Every structure is written in structure tokens, then in C-alpha cells.
Amino acid sequence: MVKLEPIDTQERLYVRVAKRIADLVLSGDVSPGDKLPSERDLAAMLKVSRPSIREAMVALEVSGLIEVRTGSGIYVADQKLQQPAVVADEGIGPFEILEMRLLIEPEVCALAAERISDDQLQQLRNIYDEMHRTAGTPEIEAYDSQFHQLIAEAAQNTPIARTISWLWALRVQSGLSRGFHRLIIEEGVYPMLDEHEAIFKSLQNRDPEAAKKAMLKHIEASTASAAQHFSN
């Protein structure tokens, strides 16, 4: 049974976790093709959160050091480990971005419900229609971004709009996040239309509480869907 000690240094957390797991391979404790402990077990061993484990797994997978077999588990890849690729800080992770979005976007959506104009509602309807047209294809990603950023603009607060725009830009700018989204898109994980429709209807009704709940439910579901990539 693999044993790991808690993390206690000051590097970026996901980098520390990735290095510790890489050390298992370098030391010969695990070999190419071996299955790693589950996300839950790794979090308990290292005394870090499960989202932190996910970010480390993203870094290791994007680097080609592990192989995630959805529904089966996480395995050491059948290739020679390259240590520099593991210890490098690959940028902000996808679950970090989702966590911040969860804190911000529901409140932004509630504010937008109070302030959105008729013209913006029509624009949002048009974007949703494009999402419906492109459902199940990578093309939907661009319309998903437009949908969320238009809601932020509808809140009529420039710092809010720029913050949301920055968060969505990070999905592309961060190598870690970009690599992970490429992986889950290949698995067929796309934005859910019914969740976006619920958000739109709450804005159309100018109902702040319903808008907040709809956005909260959507981002929680998106996080859970992304996390399924690592489920055993």
C-alpha cells in the first residue's frame, strides 16, 4: 500500500502535490502502469483538499506523467518520468478558476437580474440560441464564454465585468486550464443547455434570487462534471 506524508513546504500547493507523487515513481515505489490511490485517499494521506489533488492530477496528466482512465482510476503513464515537467508551475488550475467563479458569479447574476436591459436580454437570447445550435461540439465553448460575460456586463459595474472577463480569459491563457479543458472536451463534456436556459429565464423575469440560485447550481454542476474525470 502506497504511503505518503503530509505536505509541509511553501511552494504552490498543486506543484508540491505533483512533486510528491512524482517522487513515488522516481523512487520506484510505483511503476509505469501502476494504479495510484483514489483522489479521496491521496487527499487524506497528504492532508490537502480534494480540489488541490485534482489540480495536481491535471498538471501530471497534461504533462503526460499519469493516465486518467475515467471510471477506472489514475495510472502511472508508460513512459520515462521527466522531473522538470512536474515541478514547473503551469499556471492557474481549472478548479481554482471554478472555485472563484462559484464565489462571484451567482452574486453577479443576481445583480444583473435587477439591471439587465431589454437589448441585453435579446443578445443573451441570441447567444443561447447559438449554444443550442452548436451543442455537443467544441464551438459551444465560445458562446458559453459570451453568455457569462454578457451577464457580467449587464450588472453595470466595470470592475465586475473586467473580473469575469479575466476569469474566462484564464481558461485559455493558463496552460494547465487549457490542457484540462481539451481533455474533458475530448470526453464529450460540454456546457449544459438546461442550466443556461434556467439562468436566462431568471434574468428575463428579473428575479435576483432565482438568478443567483440558477448560476450557483450551474457552476456547482460544472465543477462536479469536471471532477468526474478523476472518479474511480
Q: What is the mean pLDDT of the chain?
A: 86
Across 13-22, 163-172, 194-203, least confident range: 13-22
Question: Residue 84 has what pLDDT?
Answer: 43
Which pLDDT score, from 0 to 100, does residue 11 have? Answer: 67
Confidence of residue 220 (pLDDT cuts 50, 70, 90): very high
Residue 83's pLDDT is what?
A: 46
Q: How many CB atoms lie within 10 A of CB 167?
A: 21
The residue among 198, 169, 171 whose CA lies nearest residue 182 is 171
Tell me which DSSP letter residue 65 carries: S
Instruction: Give domain 13-87's CATH number out of 3.60.20.10, 3.40.50.300, 1.10.10.10, 3.30.1520.10.
Output: 1.10.10.10
Alpha helix positions (H), the chain:
13-26, 39-46, 50-62, 83-87, 94-115, 118-133, 140-154, 158-173, 175-186, 193-204, 208-227
Query: Does 63 score more than 90 pLDDT?
Result: no
Residue ranges covered by each domain of the chain: 13-87, 94-230
Q: Cβ distance 154 to 120 under 8 Å?
A: yes
Question: Which 8-state DSSP code applies to residue 36?
Answer: P
> Does the pLDDT value for residue 2 go beyond 90?
no
* Grid coordinates of 19: 512533486
- 94-230, what's its fold? Four Helix Bundle (Hemerythrin (Met), subunit A) (1.20.120)
Tell whether the model's pLDDT for residue 204 goes beyond 70: yes
Domains 13-87 and 94-230 belong to one CATH topology = no
Task: Work out the pLDDT band at 1, boundaries 50, 70, 90.
Answer: low
Q: Which tens digit of pLDDT belongs to each residue from 47-60? A: 888 888 888 888 88
- pLDDT by residue (tens digit) across 66-99? 888 877 888 888 765 444 444 455 678 888 899 9
Work out the percent of the chain whose per-residue pLDDT is above 70: 88
Residue whose C-alpha cell reads 501530471 in the numeric block: 60
Task: Look at residue 52 in the predicted model and tell me its pLDDT.
Answer: 84
Please state, in angstroms and rounded to a whole number, the distance separating the CA atoms of residues 39 and 51. 9
List pLDDT tens digits, range 98-145: 999 999 999 999 999 999 999 999 999 999 999 999 998 989 999 999
